[in-house]
Amino acid sequence: MRFGLIMSEVGNGLRRNITMVISVILVTFISLTFVGAAILLQAQIGQMKGYWYDRAQVAVYFCTASSVGECNLVEATPDQKNFVEAQLQSPGLAALIDRYEFESHEQAYARYQEQFSDNEFADFVSPEFLNEAFWVNLNDPTQSDALVESLSGLAGVEEVKDQRKYLDPIFAALNAASFTAIGIASLMLVAAVLLIATTIRLSAFSRRRELGIMRLVGASNRFIQTPFILEGVIAALIGSVLAAGAVLAIVRFFVQGYLGSTLQTTTAVIGMSEALLVAPILLLVGVVLAAASANVAISRYLKV
Amino acid sequence: MIRFDQVTKLYAGNSRPALNSVTLEILKGEFVFLVGASGSGKSSFLRLVLKEENPSKGRIHVLGQDLGRLTSRKVPYFRRNLGVVFQDFRLLPQKTVFGNVAFSMQVIGKSKGFIQEAVPDVLKMVGLAGKASRLPHELSGGEQQRVAIARAIVNKPAILLADEPTGNLDPSTSAGIMTLLERISSSGTTVIMATHDAGIVDQMKRRVIELVSGQIVRDERQGGYQTQAIPLQASPRESSDGLAHTHDPVPQSQVPTATTPAPVRRFAP
């Protein structure tokens, strides 16, 4: 009986305020879509980091006859190479290193030919131009500094390069995009919260006679406020469901469909599993924000 | 039943108190008229009993409860013991007579079956049997006030507060409403009625409490609107602040004094 009464009050309120309710739905929809996009971008960054950092190596390049600078156009000697290898096996560094392998001029040339087969330069490159190198896989990719510091400047070493450095600008760009999304999302969420509060006040104002009588005859505060809170929550929930649907659609059709087919080689894109994790977060955020702001908005009408 | 203990009520931004050190006691089943000029504190008194306002000073006990100690969570449950009727009826225009009365039961969680039983009973008691499906605007003023009274008493309150319930009604309709209130009172409900209607007060011969500028100047058993016993103490002061008797049907120069009794209106049966 009471439940039915409350639900019919909710229905009346929603119908009476239909334009405001639609704007609440749209604003929550858009703001939560941005929230979802920001979360997905962070997930994407995390996934890419995991993917690339596992593959990223530290390269210890040896001097070639054409290297300038420290090398002075002198090819690294076998002794120098052996000394560097001894360093890699020394107790200080060995603990950090998962494995390492030596790449000769010929191996470097073969890899170069393979990677740049469709590039005209490939024809002008000969094996002796390409550095011999140790390719080092670290246990923890973030600890590359120790390796770079201890091996740079050794005789015959041209450069020690952490491949992760190449990726940092990409992550910085993605991070900036996700912070932008979070910024827009929080502005929109503020708008959504204020709009819900206004909608509920309007709804309460249009029912002030009923509210006055309810208070007079002793309806409990919970009974009075529940329909209004439900009203806000239902409107926000519809917006959240739309936002969750939008996030799922973005992942399904844009990320997996479009990006997935254009970036076939780099498989590190997020999938539906991440999107399905984000959807309930959006629903929860929408409902909690709506309930809180409706609660604050209606409390003025409950003062006894 | 209701006890005021040195109660003073000051509203913000007004140095003159609405009620000034009021002490009184109203017993179970009493019928009390609250008379006095507009602004004399009658409505403040009723609002304090309802705990719509809190006193600035003093203590109020209603139905054995100290209102100062009542938490706001418990106020709604306290109010279920009181019924209230207003001059302007305050019915819900889109609900039928039945719906209006049923509403006050629904919102405190009464069962559907109980409502179906209780509402026709109370409508019959206030003389509206057969008009349950009318809308408020299809009724006369007197009938609308009967609906409001039905709504106020359907939950069987111990106290009925009426703030000028006959203020918008003609004398004969008022008489009908008074008959109804008398019947409610005789069934054991305490009735407190704020009014300006001298005729009604004089005819009913009930307890009269007169307020002037927030102070009780008279508390008389079986009194009239104007007292025959004590002179009006505060009259000059009241006239000077321009509030006096603006509501009165008689011109200022003809305001009855202690020596000339107020004209008594006759009620239609």
What secondary structure letter does DSSP report for A259?
I
For residue B155, give the chain A residue with the closest CA.
A217
Calculate the average pLDDT of chain B. Answer: 85
Residue scoring higher pLDDT (B55 or A158): B55
Order of strands, edge to edge, in the sheet holding A157-162? A97-103, A133-138, A58-62, A157-162
Task: Express each pLDDT in B208-242 by its tens digit.
Answer: 999 999 999 999 888 888 765 555 554 444 444 44
Cα(B57)–Cα(A78) distance, integer angstroms:
100
Q: What is the pLDDT of residues A248-291, one digit of tens each?
A: 999 988 888 888 777 765 556 788 888 899 999 999 999 999 99
Option in B51, B79, B112 nearest A217 (CB): B79
pLDDT at B254: 44
The pLDDT, as a whole number, for residue A268 is 67
- Among candidate residues B250, B171, B218, B211, the one with its CA nearest the CA of residue B40: B211
Which range has the worst mean pLDDT, A106-115, B22-31, B184-193? A106-115
**Residue pair A67/A105 in contact by the 8 Å Cβ criterion:** no
Name the DSSP class of A121: G
Where b means 16+ CB within 10 Å and e means fewer, B238-255 reads beeeeebbeebeeeeeeb
Res A293: pLDDT: 94
Residues across chain B: 269
Q: Give the pLDDT of residue B245.
A: 43
Mean pLDDT throughout A137-141?
82
Render pLDDT for A176-233 as a digit per residue (tens, 0 to 9): 988 998 899 899 899 999 999 999 998 888 888 888 888 888 888 888 889 999 999 9
Task: Tell if the CB–CB gap between A216 and B72 is shorter than 8 Å.
Answer: no
A187 touches chain B (CB under 8 A): no
Identify which of A209, A212, A219 has the shortest CB distance to residue B108: A219
Q: How confident is the model at residue B139 (pLDDT cuts 50, 70, 90)?
A: very high
SS3 (DSSP) at B66: strand
Q: What are phi and psi of A96, to 5 degrees?
A: -85, -20
CB pairs under 8 A between A and B: 61
b/e burial code for range A164-195 (CB count within 10 A of at least 16 → b): beeeeeeeeebeeebeebbebbeebbeebbeb
Q: Which residues of A touch B52 (CB under 8 A)?
A: 304
What residue type is A118 in one-letter code?
D
Q: How far is CA B163 from the centre of its chain?
A: 4
% of chain A with per-residue pLDDT over 90: 26
CA of B96 vs chain A CAs: smallest distance (Å) = 14
Spell A106-139 as b/e; 16+ CB within 10 A means b.
ebbbeebeeeeeeeeeeeeeebeebbbbbebebe
Share of chain A above pLDDT 70, in %: 96
Q: What is the pLDDT of residue B47?
A: 93
Q: Which two tokens stand for residue B249?
A: 């049907």
How many alpha carbons fall within 13 Å on the CB side of residue A197? 14
CB contact under 8 A, B78 and A217: no
* Cα A104-A109-A113 angle, rounded to 5 deg: 155
Do B103 and A213 lie within an 8 Å CB cutoff? yes
Q: Is A249's Cβ below 8 Å from some Cβ in B?
A: no
pTM (2 d.p.): 0.72
Average pLDDT over residues B83-100: 93
Q: Which residues of A touch B90 (CB under 8 A)?
A: 209, 212-213
Beta-carbon contacts of residue A103 (< 8 Å; ≥ 6 apart): A111, A132, A133, A134, A135
- Give the β-pairing of B65-66 and B57-62: antiparallel
Q: How far is CA B253 from the centre of its chain?
A: 28
B122 or A146, higher pLDDT:
B122
Question: At residue A141, what is the residue type?
Answer: P
Give the distance from residue A1's alpha carbon to the nearest chain B alpha carbon, in angstroms. Answer: 7
- Work out the minimum CA distance from B112 to partner chain A, whole angstroms: 7
Res. B112: pLDDT tops 70: yes
CA distance A278 to chain B (A): 39
B76 with A213: Cβ contact below 8 A: no
- Please state which of the ranges A118-122, B207-211, B243-247 shows the lowest mean pLDDT: B243-247
